[in-house]
Amino acid sequence: MEKTKAQPNYLRCFNCLLLFVFLSCASNNRAIQPVLYDEIHEEKIYEEPIEEIVEEPAEDIYKNRIINVLSESNLPQYITEKIHNDITGSRYFINELFVIIRQDPSLWRLVDKKHSLGRDYEPDDLVVLNSNSYMVNDSNLMLRRIAAASLEEMAIAARREGIVLVVSYAYRSYTRQIQSYTMHVRNMGQIEADRVSARPGHSQHQLGLVVDFGSVNNAFARTPQGIWLTNNASHFGWSISYPEGYEAVTGYRWESWHYRYVGLELAAFIDKYFNGIQQYALEFIYEFVNS
């Protein structure tokens, strides 16, 4: 039998080189295309990164949802119109709203005469307030860690301007609120007590995000502390809960000393769209989330 003539070495090398180039090109061509589907099972296995802002398809859905909430709310007309105009002309309101509701829900949780935290609610990250940056009227006062950190930052800023913040009350448990509310009822009767004190389970203090500053009376509004907080608290994520002239909205008489930590984003949101009225913003968010 005649033997097959062996290929010269240079031809074998050339063929190998051609094969290598062909495989490399095929591999590279496949690599630069995103893998969208498993070709056997036809299942999607690749997803684009989710953007933090609301994109076009969802935008109309959320616009309609916001408009529905606005139409059923008790917000003043000028606030409703402002929000409506914003969502018509831009995405700012929608995007800011979504940043807020993706945060810790306790920051925007609605706690008022109609909405209760319940008997068993107790934060699991309470810390004792102990700092040289502010004064405390009780050595056992506590706040949630995030609020305590912000209070420290705010107090340092106030001290730079010669203002020393005084913390009179902070976290209050359900049991402690029973004692406080009962005392007010005993001293002034049920109707008046309900204007100045929350029933157990309905107090913002139970969130561990509230501070009562200074003298705990409305003379506080005219003190250097009170004036400084009015002008600066929201820059650190704090919002006055019961402003003057809004008892019909909040359910409580003016408390110039009562500030709730809501976070930087929500504090700015309250000022920008809701005229600084915390109750308006929290009610809107509650209705939006639950609609």
Mean local confidence (pLDDT), 231-252:
98
Give the per-residue SS3 of 245-267. CCHHHHCCCCEEEEEEECCHHHH
For residue 172, pLDDT beyond 60: yes
For residue 53, pLDDT beyond 90: no
Residue 47: Cβ within 10 Å count: 7
- Give CA–CA dist 248/252, Å, rounded: 8
For residue 54, pLDDT beyond 70: no
Confidence of residue 165 (pLDDT cuts 50, 70, 90): very high
Residue 218 or residue 61, greater confidence: 218
**Element housing 238 (H / E):** strand 238-242
Confidence of residue 34 (pLDDT cuts 50, 70, 90): very low
CA-based angle 155:179:105, to the nearest 5?
Answer: 50
Instruction: Give percent of the chain with pLDDT exceeding 90.
Output: 77
pTM of the model: 0.80
pLDDT digit string (tens) for 68-120? Answer: 999 999 999 999 999 999 999 888 999 999 999 999 999 999 999 999 999 99
For residue 48, pLDDT beyond 90: no
Give the per-residue SS3 of 159-181. HHCCCCCEEEECCCCHHHHHHHH
For residue 32, pLDDT beyond 50: no
CATH of 103-290, one of 3.40.640.10, 1.20.910.10, 3.30.1490.190, 3.30.1380.10: 3.30.1380.10
pLDDT the model gives residue 89: 87
pLDDT the model gives residue 276: 98
For residue 31, pLDDT beyond 50: no
Residue 285: Cβ within 10 Å count: 21
pLDDT digit string (tens) for 187-231? Answer: 999 999 999 999 999 999 999 999 999 999 999 999 999 999 999
pLDDT the model gives residue 29: 40
Confidence of residue 183 (pLDDT cuts 50, 70, 90): very high
Q: 133 φ, ψ to 5°?
A: -85, -25
pLDDT the model gives residue 50: 34
Contact 105, 144 (CB under 8 A): no
For residue 10, pLDDT beyond 90: no
Q: In whole angstroms, how large is the CA radius of gyration of the chain?
A: 30
Mean pLDDT of the chain: 86
Confidence of residue 19 (pLDDT cuts 50, 70, 90): very low
Residue 229 or residue 15, greater confidence: 229
Confidence of residue 57 (pLDDT cuts 50, 70, 90): low
